[in-house]
Structure 1
Amino acid sequence: MAEFITREHVAGIHSKQPWFVLSAEQFFAHKPPNHPYISHFYSFTMSNELGKTIAIPDGCIDLLFDCDGDSPIGLVCGTTLQAREVTFTPHHHYFGVRFIPGMVPDFLNVSAPELIEHQSRFVDVVSDSQFICEQVIRAHSFLERVELINGFLALKQLHSPSRLTSQIVAKICQEKGNIQVQDLERYSGYTRRTLERQFQQDIGLTPKTFIRAIRCQSAVYSINHLDTLTFSDLASGLGFSDQAHFLREFKKLVHVTPLVYQQQVRQNTYLEHLQVC
């Protein structure tokens, strides 16, 4: 069993916000080669004239900076629990850092449960952060911002949660969310109550809620990248009892049915919007 969460342990989970990608003029992502706790950096300019898009569950904490010169701001954003409308300023440029699923940085002056479905000003919850916030906002390129954040994080504590939570997070990600809480009890040797108490203390979620987020991300990733895919096979592969259950859950977490989502991905050429650098 893993003793701590690293990017290696959640490597099969590609935590994305697909509606952000589809709403952007272009979306850049960068996976750092040597940072064990960061899923990826990203950058985009909101093209939607209304600035409205949808956030879906991912089990992640994000640092998000609006780098517009007139009203710049840095935020710390927790995961949502179901599909939720969010608003960006049209044509503003955004830069973000997404930590791996289940990782809550120690340097945040806020508890893990307080982050769920909330966002806080970066300078309010990170000590001595005004300078780095200003640097990131003033930087001239995506990769320059990446280097600034890498240098900032190198000076911060980034310990994983407890060994128990780390083991369970790694197991859930390994199974791509296709696992039940009773399976986790057998795997860990701890009761549901103990798992829930430790999980909520460490990452602000119950194991069941984290499973839903990871299973949601697994479903979305499959639809984004597989040309030949039947929803019945996808539902079965993710452990749903039947296709109807999968359809209801997907719509609750992603905002639309799998078919409508697939049509949006193909119509708006998702992979062409997403540039990895």
Structure 2
Amino acid sequence: MLKDSVYDRVSGIHSKQPWFVLGAAQEFLLYHSDIPSISHFYSFEADPATEQVLAIPDGCVDILFDCDEQRPTAKVCGTTLEATNAEFIHNHRYFGVRFVPGVIPDFLKASAQELIEHQLNLLDIMPNADRVFEQIVSSSVFANQVGIFEKFYKNQLARKLSILTKQTIHEVFIKKGNIQIQDLEASTGYCTRTLQRQFRADMGMSPKAFSRIIRCQSAVYDLNHNKGVTFSDLACDLGFSDQSHFLREFKKLVSVTPLDYLHRVKQEAYVARLRYF
């Protein structure tokens, strides 16, 4: 019953970082924001018993505050393109803001290309960030940190995307990443070259790379939240040519096989860490 209730409550969060949860020393706190451009907030202490915590592709920008009392820092993390070491410091407490896939806050003075697979110092690319930074890292209460950031962000905007890129993102989401460039040509009325040029200018990656990320996250979500899912059905639903192709792709982006992943996220050790507000 506990497992079902926890998974039901976090089902509204579609951008998953499962290894962050498993890398938490104790609780992994979650809050699903009412702000449309923010996916959720999260907080945890990095477990010293976990050697390495991986970030998987999610198409999101995160602002991650390291709330260490001696040397607090904050960095802006663009999406990875495959499983990558997140470089958490043992015993440090983190507070994170995850924006929805495709959203880049306009207050960040960095291009989309500069964010992909990079971690940039928040204070270097966000003018006048000192006050909100000091308020967040000085608080030890998750709800207060959420409130501080939401108050700051209510007067901020997401970076404007072209109409073509917005339409492309919409189509990718509808198809759960299972979409080809010719499908986008047909739905948008633009040629491949224009689609790719505009999308890369807005998002820092190709439509194919973004679709691959969303298809990966769709697989992760289904494994987390759908009971009795079979790998063959999931592979078919997401448009893989065969199950072996799906297994190879999943392992490359998530670092483990779907079976191993399923065993880890369905265990009490995973679920017991989650605290949803």
Question: Is this contact kept in 1: 2:64–2:96, CA < 8 A?
Answer: yes
- Residue 13 to residue 213, structure 1, CA distance change in 2 (3 Å): farther
Shift of 1:160: 3.5
Question: Is this contact kept in 1: 2:40–2:97, CA < 8 A?
Answer: yes
Query: Are 1:62 and 2:62 matched, yes or no?
Result: yes
What residue in structure 2 maps to residue 232 of structure 1? 232
Shift of 1:12: 7.7
Number of residue pairs matched by the alignment: 266
Could you list the runs of 5+ residues in structure 1 that have no partner in the other structure?
1-10
Counterparts of 1:1-277 in structure 2, within 5 Å, are: 14-24=14-24, 25-33=26-34, 35-267=35-267, 269-277=269-277
Shift of 1:174: 1.8
Measure the CA separation in 2 of the matches of 1:68 and 1:113. 29
Shift of 1:147: 1.0
Backbone CA RMSD of aligned residues: 1.6
1:64-116 deviation line (CA, Å, top 9, x unaligned): 00111012101100000001122211121100001110111111111000100
SS of alignment partner, residue 45 of structure 2: strand
SS of alignment partner, residue 145 of structure 1: helix
Q: Match for 1:29: what amino acid?
A: L
Question: Is this contact kept in 2: 1:104–1:202, CA < 8 A?
Answer: no
What residue in structure 2 maps to residue 7 of structure 1? none
Structure 1 length-normalised TM: 0.92
Q: Using the TM superposition, name which of 142-151 and 159-168 deviates more.
A: 159-168
What residue in structure 2 maps to residue 6 of structure 1? none
Q: Match for 1:213: what amino acid?
A: I
Measure the CA separation in 2 of the matches of 1:26 and 1:13. 17
Q: Match for 1:85: what amino acid?
A: N
Measure the CA separation in 2 of the matches of 1:12 and 1:274. 14
Shift of 1:13: 7.0
Measure the CA separation in 2 of the matches of 1:273 and 1:13. 16
Question: Is this contact kept in 2: 1:82–1:254, CA < 8 A?
Answer: yes
* Paired-residue identity, %: 52
What residue in structure 2 maps to residue 3 of structure 1? none
Q: Which runs of 4+ in 1 moved over 6 A?
A: none
Shift of 1:51: 5.0
Measure the CA separation in 1 of the matches of 2:129 and 2:160. 21
